[in-house]
């Protein structure tokens, strides 16, 4: 005698739920594998064409005003930076760049924002900025040391830049990276203050 097994509706529903769960898992694993493959492909391209950080050099610094009224400083400095992309296969989007001047860690100008720009492979760009500080409070020691340096006709200034950039490799564009530029400049000028002779060394960190 054969035994007849009749499956209940509840049992059939459970099997159907399990089948749907298996399908969802297959879809999930398929998308995960595709995403991982794309990510690995991007990382391989990135490390093969690993971008070299941009290079900056200070071409000119003109000091037009540096005077005190007690502990208050008024300043006016014109600078020209040369920006170079050393990469042969990577372009750069500069989304944000601001520059300012410091003297012995004391900021002596306000920030000057430069417009965003695109820099092609192995391209160079000249960037000009007017740095102005009106009524900036400074420490008494800074007043004394800067006055002494002005008499000597030589100042050591730091021209600094902060910003955000993106790398472009083919049609792929990276996320934003923050970068910092620091130019140590020895500026020699006459008593009248004006166009200056200077030597400078710049470094870039990302």
List, for the chain, all residue ranges whose pLDDT scores fall below the cut of 70.
1-24, 41-49, 189-198
Residue ranges per structural domain of the chain:
8-48, 55-205
Task: Please tell me the pTM assigned to this model.
Answer: 0.74
Kindly report, residue by residue over 85-116, the tens digit of the pLDDT: 999 989 999 999 999 999 988 999 999 999 99
Kindly report, residue by residue over 7-19, the tens digit of the pLDDT: 555 555 555 655 6
Spell out the SS3 assignment of the chain: CCCCCCCCHHHHHHHHHHHHHHHHHHHHHHHHHHHHHHHHHHHHHHHHCCCCCCEEEEEEEEEEEEEEECCEEEEEEEEEEEEECCCCCCEEEEEEEEEEEEECCEECCCCEEECCEEECCCCEEEEEEEEEEEEEECCHHHHHHHHHHHHHCEEEEEEEEEEEEEEEECCEECCCEEEEEEEEEEEECCCCCCECEEEEEEEEEC
Do the strands 55-69 and 106-107 form a parallel or antiparallel pair, or are they unpaired? unpaired
CATH number belonging to domain 55-205: 2.60.40
* Sheet arrangement for strand 124-137: 55-69, 72-84, 124-137
Kindly report, residue by residue over 66-78, the tens digit of the pLDDT: 888 888 999 999 9
């Amino acid at each position: 005698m054969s035994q007849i097994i009749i499956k209940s509706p509840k049992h059939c529903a459970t099997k159907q739920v399990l089948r749907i769960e298996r399908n969802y898992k297959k879809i999930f694993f398929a998308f995960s594998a595709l995403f991982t493959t794309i990510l690995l492909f991007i990382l391989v391209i990135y490390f093969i064409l690993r971008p070299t950080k941009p290079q900056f050099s200070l071409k000119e610094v003109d000091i037009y005003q540096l005077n005190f009224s007690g502990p208050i400083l008024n300043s006016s400095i014109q600078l020209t930076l040369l920006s170079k992309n050393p990469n042969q296969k990577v372009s750069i989007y500069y989304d944000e760049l601001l520059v300012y001047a410091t003297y012995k860690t004391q900021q002596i100008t306000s920030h000057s924002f430069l417009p965003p720009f695109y820099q092609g492979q192995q391209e160079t760009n000249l960037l000009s900025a007017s740095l102005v500080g009106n009524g900036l409070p400074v420490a008494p020691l800074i007043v004394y040391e800067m006055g002494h340096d002005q008499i000597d006709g030589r100042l050591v200034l730091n021209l600094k830049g902060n910003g955000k950039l993106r790398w472009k490799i083919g049609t792929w564009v990276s996320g934003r990276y923050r970068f910092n530029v620091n130019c140590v400049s020895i500026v020699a000028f006459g008593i009248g203050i004006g166009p200056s002779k200077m030597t400078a060394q710049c470094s870039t960190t990302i």
